Amino acid sequence: MNEQQANIVFAGAGSIGTAIGNTLARAGHNVSLYTIEEHIAKAINEKHINPDYFPRAPLCEKLKASEDIKVLLEADVLFLALPSIITVDFVLQNKEYIREEVVLVNLAKGFGCGKMTITSCLEKMVNNPVSTMKGPTFAREVINAAPTAMTFAAADKKLFDQIGGIFNNTSIYLDYTTDVEGVEYLSILKNIYAIILGIVDAHFDSPNLRFLVLTRAFDEMRRIMLRSGGRESSMFNYSGYGDFSLTALNDLSRNRTLGLLIGKGFFTKDISDTVVLEGKMAVNAFCEHILDEPDREEFPLIFELNKIFQNNYDMSSFVGNILRMAR
């Protein structure tokens, strides 16, 4: 792979795929976005905009888009910028177009199959080098070349040397860890705890309570990640404290926004059915498949949130139970 002019494909032309792809195209790489949306591909190629995600942001003219799945054959690096629930299936269904030496970089935040992370699923199912890249990133900032930090995680540091090289001279700054599972779990957990912070802020509007819960949330995340095989040091990579803080405390976060809706009393059956958020699905996965019933006292935040999703649950009881278990 030529790190000065790599052939890079993004599976997905949504907000984060377009934003990071555009960043790499500006740096001189050959970047293609694979999409099933004809109008998006046409607009990117002819008008250099993504009408669904960045209608007012001019894209680099080197950035291309394609509806042809065979574009995957051109990749040295394949970034997976798809919804988490379809990421593993996408790779498996299109293995014939992904050469074995192609580096897979997972950008999706969620479980892959059952209670396994996306990278764990892929490592069992394909022979490609598998990695993940996560961090405190809002795509609207990335598209405008705001300095942005992300964590690249792979078992083999040679992958970081390669991927880090293609981000030289861009606005994206990478740190590195071999703790792939830790980074994957943190990217799921931070969405869950962002919902909780949104609930607390909407219902109580108390800075004291906000940071009480924020501190307990960070510790609860840490303990769940350690139980799941991650390393404590990963909490202090960009994908740890940074990503959690961005998602939990900034109103651009869709998971925090869901929490704000719940806290204001707008969480109806219609909202819960139509707002498909990785955070909500992950709560059920943790509470039903990873943690056990005796863990309720040790991890009160996540179990109390699960009660909200399962039942019509009083908000004062939610925080009251958290405070009772905080003593």
pLDDT digits (tens, 9 = 90+) for 33-46: 999 999 999 999 99
- The model's pLDDT over 66-102, given as tens digits with 9 standing for 90+, comes to 999 999 999 999 999 999 989 999 999 999 999 999 9
Q: Looking at residue 327, what is its pLDDT?
A: 65
pLDDT over 50 at 273, yes or no = no
> From the centroid of its chain, how far is CA 285?
16
Pick from 10, 17, 66: nearest CA to 42:
66
Check if the beta carbon of residue 109 is closer than 8 Å to that of residue 12: no
Domain extents in the chain: 7-178, 182-326
Q: Looking at residue 204, what is its pLDDT?
A: 84
Pick from 138, 145, 228: nearest CA to 183:
228
pLDDT over 80 at 287, yes or no = yes
- The model's pLDDT over 295-307, given as tens digits with 9 standing for 90+, comes to 878 898 999 898 8
Helix (H, G, I), strand (E, B) or coil at 47: coil
Model confidence at 276, pLDDT cuts 50, 70, 90, reads: very low
We find that the CATH architecture of domain 7-178 is 3-Layer(aba) Sandwich (3.40)
Query: From CA 112, how far away is CA 85, in angstroms rounded?
Result: 6
Question: pTM for the whole thing?
Answer: 0.93
Model confidence at 294, pLDDT cuts 50, 70, 90, reads: confident
Q: Hey, which CATH number is domain 182-326, 3.10.129.10, 1.10.1040.10, 1.10.3720.10, 3.20.20.140?
A: 1.10.1040.10
